């Protein structure tokens, strides 16, 4: 979240990108055919990392290779599950695999140069007779798996996947990273533009930020945080519902004190067919006021009542 590794462009971005912050230097070279990985491609990594984190919290061994349900991935990241899903997903995986990141690393006085990528292998399995996507298998970069091992990750609100403007997503990421639960975080527009990786002119960048702040003031569409532009300074504050849900808890939606087993997810799918179980998990965690004695049963019961009230997923 600290550095702008993903393009903000919704079009094919073939331009090399260089970024420097303090001692950190980053150069990003786009994939030859599909261009640079963008903020929407990042959704795939977020979802896969959340699955690895859940497995680790269950005490399971995790590794670089991960196999996940294609349908669950598409639903959780607010993607279409129609016929075009295969081509769209394939292009995203290509960008994630072949976008190359060169960076320097300093550790205890020793400098190191590395060339890395987000994923090193990808496979999509589909049913030949119907073309329906069945599963996605990825081999993650070892640096991402180490972040999970060290619990060096932050959870994101489910509404993050509904933000359609790339800059909105980047502003939210920076808010989660730098504001957290403190009362307010302020940053000048020049420094903010550098952290977002935006290639717009200063005037255009200010106009874009101002429009996002106005939309949030009118509709409160940004999750977790309020954004206000005061002259050339962006002011970010947690929204009341964010503090109501998470309060002083050190962990967020993936609270490690409440763990679910793999069987619980399967039972939840049976209890609430057509609903994405990870969406329901987020709703459940935000709803409960204290850790239940039997998390699996409580979660499955929540899903069953949810389905009784709401029926099939829209």
Closest CA to 8 of 211, 200, 209: 200
- Ranking 111-115, 149-153, 154-158 by mean pLDDT, the lowest is 149-153
Structure tokens at 27: 């150069």
- The answer to whether residue 255 scores a pLDDT higher than 50 is no
Q: What is the edge-to-edge ordering of all strands in the sheet holding 225-230?
A: 185-188, 233-238, 225-230
pLDDT, tens only, 87-129: 889 999 999 999 999 988 655 556 678 899 999 999 999 887 7
- The answer to whether residue 257 scores a pLDDT higher than 50 is no
Q: Quote the pLDDT of residue 209.
A: 97
Question: Please, what is the average pLDDT of the chain?
Answer: 84
- The answer to whether residue 37 scores a pLDDT higher than 70 is yes
Q: Quote the pLDDT of residue 203.
A: 96
Q: Quote the pLDDT of residue 85.
A: 84
Closest CA to 90 of 143, 131, 52: 131
- What mean pLDDT comes out for the span 29-37? 94
Q: Quote the pLDDT of residue 108.
A: 54
Closest CA to 30 of 92, 113, 98, 103: 98
Confidence category of residue 258, pLDDT binned at 50, 70, 90 = low
- What mean pLDDT comes out for the span 258-278? 84
Confidence category of residue 81, pLDDT binned at 50, 70, 90 = confident
- The answer to whether residue 271 scores a pLDDT higher than 90 is yes
Q: Quote the pLDDT of residue 242.
A: 66
Domains along the chain with CATH numbers: 1-153 (1.10.10), 182-249 (1.10.10), 262-310 (no CATH)
Cα–Cα dist 47/117, whole Å: 17
Q: Is residue 38 within 8 Å of 121, Cβ to Cβ?
A: no
Q: Quote the pLDDT of residue 304.
A: 92
pLDDT, tens only, 186-234: 999 999 999 999 999 999 999 999 999 999 999 999 999 999 999 899 9
Closest CA to 300 of 258, 278, 261, 271: 271
């Amino acid at each position: 979240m600290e550095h702008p590794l993903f393009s903000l462009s919704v079009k094919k971005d073939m331009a090399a990108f260089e970024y420097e912050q303090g001692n950190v230097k980053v150069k990003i070279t786009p994939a030859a055919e599909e261009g640079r990985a963008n903020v929407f491609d990042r959704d795939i990594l977020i979802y896969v990392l959340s699955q690895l984190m859940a497995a680790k919290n269950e005490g399971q061994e995790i590794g670089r290779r991960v196999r996940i349900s294609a349908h669950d991935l598409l639903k959780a990241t607010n993607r279409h599950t129609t016929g075009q899903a295969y081509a769209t997903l394939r292009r995203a995986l290509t960008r994630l695999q072949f976008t190359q990141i060169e960076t320097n690393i300093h550790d205890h006085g020793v400098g190191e140069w590395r060339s890395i990528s987000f994923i090193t292998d990808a496979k999509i399995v589909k049913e030949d007779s119907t073309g329906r996507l069945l599963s996605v298998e990825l081999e993650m970069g070892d640096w991402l798996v180490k972040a999970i091992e060290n619990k060096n990750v932050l959870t994101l609100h489910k509404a993050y996947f509904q933000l359609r403007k790339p800059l909105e997503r980047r502003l939210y990421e920076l808010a989660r990273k730098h504001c957290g639960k403190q009362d307010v975080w302020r940053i000048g527009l020049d420094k903010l533009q550098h952290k977002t990786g935006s290639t717009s002119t200063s005037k255009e960048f200010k106009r874009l930020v101002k429009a996002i702040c106005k939309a949030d003031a009118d509709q409160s569409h940004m999750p977790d945080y309020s954004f206000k532009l005061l002259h050339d300074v962006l002011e970010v504050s947690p929204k009341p519902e964010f503090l109501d849900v998470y309060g002083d808890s050190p962990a967020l939606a993936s609270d490690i004190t409440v763990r679910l087993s793999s069987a619980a997810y399967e039972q939840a799918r049976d209890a609430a067919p057509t609903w994405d179980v990870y969406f329901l998990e987020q709703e459940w965690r935000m709803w409960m006021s204290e850790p239940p004695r039997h998390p699996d049963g409580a979660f499955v019961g929540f899903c069953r009542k949810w389905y009784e009230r709401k029926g099939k997923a829209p």
